[in-house]
Structure 1
Amino acid sequence: MSTATTPQTGTDPDLAPASDRPSPSTNPSRSASPSPSPNPSPSPSPSRHARRFGLPVATALVMGNIIGGGIFLLPASVAPYGTISLVAFGVLTLGAIALALVFGRLARRLPMTGGPYVYAREAFGDFAGFLAAWSYWITTWVSNAALAVAAVGYLDVLVPVHESKAATIAAALTLQWLPALASLAGTRYVGAVQLVATVLKFVPLLFVAVGGLFFFDSANLGPFQASEGSALGAVSASAAILLFSYLGVESAAVSAGEVRDPRRNVGRATILGTLGAAVIYLLGTLSVFGTVPHDRLVDSSAPFSDAVNVMFGGSWGGAAIACMALVSMVGALNGWTLLSAQTPYAAARDGLFPKAFAHKRRGVPTVGVAVTVVLASLLTVYNYTAGTQGVFEILVLVTTFTATVPYLLSTAAQIHFLISGQADRVHRPRLVRDAVLALAAFGFSLWLVAGSGYAAVYQGVLFLFVGVLVHAWMSARRQRAAAGAEVEAEPAP
């Protein structure tokens, strides 16, 4: 394949001229389409503010994006189903690891910024690539708005901002714009903030998760299955709540162009980050189950705070957990803000998004970051001023569907590469292993779609159809540009 010419080290494939980047010649559906118009190339001279991520920062990016604020409520959310919810957690962890392994294999093949967009476009053509980019972009900026709103709730425990609507809005916007400013300052600052935020939230969470085991009392666990119905129904019901805990496993793949030696480090970072998040999730939930009595946990609004209070006495757990949650969400906002610009950047370089998204400064697609934070800010202000909490919740639920579209396309792309004989270093045992992983990851992605619910899928499809109109507009512009170039190239009579 043409991707074999992509430099493995020392050169960012996304900074190479369009002619030097992997071509889609292996895809017949795209070879017949007009070539995308050339996009402006970034400055060839590297900026001191731009720095490629090593393995530790890439791992922190994955772990920081997976672990947001939901972990602080998860034990109470699944407690009504009993400890059988831990079984659902285990199944989901296996699915997430399978998805992470597939992303690692795909990143070795196509180590470029864009992740799922790149994989879908290479396998199925421009339209599939655009759908992956469009749906992922929707996910990022709506999720950023949701994270900011949730972070304000934890901030209110420390500083009473709820007394003034203006103060609440200002706090939410500040929490969005600070990570955006870090991104605009350059990738070196994004990486530094992400690494610090991940350490600050990982250490105390691990402390609670491990420390809780020393105060573990099996009498607190309650019944194995606390809900009515079959065991399979209880697993599925609790899984529907836990399903989206692992969104973010693709983080390193999306930013592959900013990772040093991406063929090697993206896969490692994806696996390490996913495993690290899984350890925190499973140990944390188990520790809370074993320290807080089940009847109290079911009605808890701050299960980790309750666990800390049981472990050490007093009532200081609320403030401590609020600080941890705030750091966790700011770290997630920092990582998701960068990711929100990476996929549109890759699509814009191929002519599938407006070319303004292809401009990079200090290693960061500045237009993508700016547009994303503005859209998220407008959505946040609308949520607070209109008071239509139901509308906002629907939009957030839609992101759970839109996030799975790139997953499905990526795993389908891997299956396509394997069946079509495009697998790297053809080796039967490796092919069988990769095929099993790809099928497992595809099934996991379908489970995510099912867990979104009918309303989310319905609304999400409408969002995708809006994207179809954008794709039609961009495709028409590309064809007109190609036709104009052909007319100019014709010799004069």
Structure 2
Amino acid sequence: MSSQISAKQANKMGILALTIVCASNMMGSGVFMLPTNLATIGSVSIFGWVVTIIGVMALALVFAKTSLLTPRTGGIVAYANDAFGPFIGFQSTICYWISAWVGNVALLVAGIGYLSYFFPALKHPLTGAITAIVILWAFVVLASFGARTAGRVQSFTAICGFIIIFGVAILGWWWFDPHNYFQVWNATGESNTHAIISSSSIALWGFLGIESACVSSGQVENPEKTVPKATIYGLLITSVCYVASCAVIMGIVPHDVLIKSPAPFASAANYMFGPTAGNVASALSVIACFGSICGWLILQSEAPRAGAKSGIFPKFFGDVNKNDVPVKSLVFTGVLMSIVLLMTASPNLAKQFQVIILMSVFASLLPYMYALVALPIIMSAKKLNKTHSYMTYGALVIIGMIYSLFSLLGSGNSAIFWGITMMVCTVPLYALVAAGKAKRGDLELYIKDTDK
């Protein structure tokens, strides 16, 4: 018996393994256009990174605690449903799903930006959009072969991304010029506070998916201590790489060049080692950006797939092929992504990228905030509201909420407009879902008839 227990323990992740998982889940192709976007704000954006790291740390610790208290399939969407009921759960699912596929559009735009380093014609809005759409549908076909194929592709492409991020973050300091970095402190024309809030919204893009960094407690040794520590360590590693790479690029590439660069890491490599290095960096970045799309396409189909099983999404979202992939869902979201690519097409790829990531950030913040407030509600329901940890996590919830509100305000008028429109649309949509549930006899109203 003891030998069986030892074998099970040996297969569980310790703090080092879980830290690597947390860091690798966050670090990816999302950072490849951030230096250009943050350069449009100026060097003051360094404080936006500080605000974002503190806020994301609070989010991560709260989500980790909730996952330990109530391990649930569905993650933060499930927690919102538990704490606030089926409508909020439905709204969170819709927003989370939209955030996922809109975020994948941003990856395509970033990949096109680096590909334009070799083919300048891609900087033309229509040409770039059509190329992105063709590449998207190629990956939809590839994703239909299943998660194993996607995993093999992404393992290789992730290495390409890490080489670029780590290489620039470490080696770039030998070419760092303080004059370049401080050349433009605040380029927004607004107050420093406004610039910091705006930069924190953009920086959050690099950490989206933080809720997926903490795995089930059943896979971790001593999860009560290991999960929070690994989350903090993983976030710190990711933060150092992000901040270092973005800061060093702003110190290498002149400001007037960087704000127009569709491939900031390639531009930095070009200034460091010459055109050949720029070509290599751009090629690796293209592989990293496009290669991660296949896995994310499968991941983005999981929320509507679960929603289809519970009756809140149309049934076709749950239809799978022989590889257990919901192909109809992939095709549907592929059409939506193609529309967004055409609607946001811009001669400035960096501007297009920024518009899209702010849309994705706004869509993710609503389920994030619901999941934050869900923790004290769940702890109260479990009679844990008089413990020391309740006060600690209550403070983290407040920090996370303040940061989320700042990020919402910093996402811009356009993102706020479309985000609010999306939230309003979920109200009549839920009426249709409720009607469908009523036909199946699943709908239950949580009220009592007071006339009796």
Note the C-alpha offset of 1:320: 3.0
The residue type equivalent to 2:436 in the other structure is R
1:342 to 260, 284, 302: 302
Note the C-alpha offset of 1:473: 0.9
- Structure 1 residue 357 corresponds to structure 2 residue 330: no
Query: What CA deviation, in whole Å up to 9, does each residue of 1:112-163 have, x standing for no partner?
Result: 4422211111111100000000111122223333432442232232246649
The aligned counterpart of 1:370 is 331
1:340/1:368 contact within 8 Å kept: no
The aligned counterpart of 1:17 is none
Shift of the 134–212 alpha-carbon distance from structure 1 to 2, 3 Å rule, reads same
Pairing 1:440-479 to 2, within 5 Å after superposition: 440-479=399-438
Shift of the 104–187 alpha-carbon distance from structure 1 to 2, 3 Å rule, reads farther
The aligned counterpart of 2:246 is 285
Tell me the percent identity: 29
The aligned counterpart of 1:76 is 39
- Structure 1 residue 437 corresponds to structure 2 residue 396: yes
Note the C-alpha offset of 1:476: 0.8
Note the C-alpha offset of 1:464: 2.3
The residue type equivalent to 2:69 in the other structure is R
2:45/2:200 contact within 8 Å kept: yes
1:152 to 108, 112, 122: 112
Shift of the 290–392 alpha-carbon distance from structure 1 to 2, 3 Å rule, reads closer
2:266/2:278 contact within 8 Å kept: yes
C-alpha separation in 2, matches of 1:462 and 1:337: 25
Pairing 1:178-197 to 2, within 5 Å after superposition: 178-197=138-157
- Structure 1 residue 221 corresponds to structure 2 residue 163: no
Shift of the 270–193 alpha-carbon distance from structure 1 to 2, 3 Å rule, reads farther
Shift of the 271–175 alpha-carbon distance from structure 1 to 2, 3 Å rule, reads farther
The residue type equivalent to 1:450 in the other structure is L
Note the C-alpha offset of 1:351: 1.9
Note the C-alpha offset of 1:377: 2.8
Note the C-alpha offset of 1:295: 6.5
C-alpha separation in 2, matches of 1:224 and 1:165: 28
Pairing 1:160-239 to 2, within 5 Å after superposition: 162=122, 168=128, 171-222=131-182, 225-226=185-186, 231-239=192-200
The residue type equivalent to 1:411 in the other structure is L
- Unpaired runs of 5+ residues, structure 1, are 1-7, 10-53, 485-493
C-alpha separation in 2, matches of 1:243 and 1:251: 15
- Structure 1 residue 322 corresponds to structure 2 residue 285: no
The residue type equivalent to 1:142 in the other structure is V
The aligned counterpart of 2:361 is 400
- Structure 1 residue 308 corresponds to structure 2 residue 269: yes
Aligned partner of residue 185 in structure 1, secondary structure: coil
Query: What CA deviation, in whole Å up to 9, does each residue of 1:295-333 have, x standing for no partner?
Result: 665665654334323322x33344233223322322442
C-alpha separation in 2, matches of 1:221 and 1:169: 32
Query: What CA deviation, in whole Å up to 9, does each residue of 1:450-491 have, x standing for no partner?
Result: 11223322222222222222221111111122189xxxxxxx
1:108 to 44, 62, 68: 68
Shift of the 267–323 alpha-carbon distance from structure 1 to 2, 3 Å rule, reads farther
C-alpha separation in 1, matches of 2:351 and 2:119: 26
C-alpha separation in 1, matches of 2:139 and 2:190: 45
Note the C-alpha offset of 1:207: 0.7
1:215/1:311 contact within 8 Å kept: yes
Shift of the 164–234 alpha-carbon distance from structure 1 to 2, 3 Å rule, reads closer
The residue type equivalent to 1:250 in the other structure is E
Aligned partner of residue 441 in structure 2, secondary structure: helix
C-alpha separation in 2, matches of 1:170 and 1:459: 24
The aligned counterpart of 1:261 is 219
The residue type equivalent to 2:271 in the other structure is V
The residue type equivalent to 2:371 in the other structure is S
C-alpha separation in 2, matches of 1:94 and 1:215: 29
The residue type equivalent to 2:147 in the other structure is T
1:108/1:262 contact within 8 Å kept: no
C-alpha separation in 2, matches of 1:462 and 1:345: 24
C-alpha separation in 2, matches of 1:480 and 1:363: 28
Aligned partner of residue 353 in structure 1, secondary structure: coil
1:309/1:315 contact within 8 Å kept: yes
Shift of the 230–483 alpha-carbon distance from structure 1 to 2, 3 Å rule, reads closer
Note the C-alpha offset of 1:347: 2.2
Note the C-alpha offset of 1:402: 1.4
Note the C-alpha offset of 1:446: 1.5
Aligned partner of residue 157 in structure 1, secondary structure: coil
C-alpha separation in 2, matches of 1:322 and 1:184: 28
Shift of the 338–234 alpha-carbon distance from structure 1 to 2, 3 Å rule, reads same
Aligned partner of residue 156 in structure 2, secondary structure: helix
Query: What CA deviation, in whole Å up to 9, does each residue of 1:344-363 have, x standing for no partner?
Result: 12222222222333345545
Shift of the 415–248 alpha-carbon distance from structure 1 to 2, 3 Å rule, reads same
Of the structure 1 ranges 150-159 and 217-226, higher mean CA displacement relative to structure 2 is found in 217-226
Pairing 1:101-140 to 2, within 5 Å after superposition: 101-140=61-100
C-alpha separation in 2, matches of 1:56 and 1:187: 23
C-alpha separation in 2, matches of 1:472 and 1:123: 20
2:107/2:289 contact within 8 Å kept: yes
Note the C-alpha offset of 1:60: 7.0
Shift of the 267–330 alpha-carbon distance from structure 1 to 2, 3 Å rule, reads farther
Of the structure 1 ranges 134-143 and 328-337, higher mean CA displacement relative to structure 2 is found in 328-337
The residue type equivalent to 1:310 in the other structure is Y
Note the C-alpha offset of 1:441: 1.7
1:55/1:268 contact within 8 Å kept: no
1:64/1:332 contact within 8 Å kept: no
The residue type equivalent to 1:157 in the other structure is Y
Shift of the 414–147 alpha-carbon distance from structure 1 to 2, 3 Å rule, reads same
C-alpha separation in 2, matches of 1:406 and 1:166: 34
- Unpaired runs of 5+ residues, structure 2, are 1-7, 10-16, 444-452
TM-score by length of 2: 0.78
C-alpha separation in 1, matches of 2:285 and 2:36: 10
RMSD: 3.9
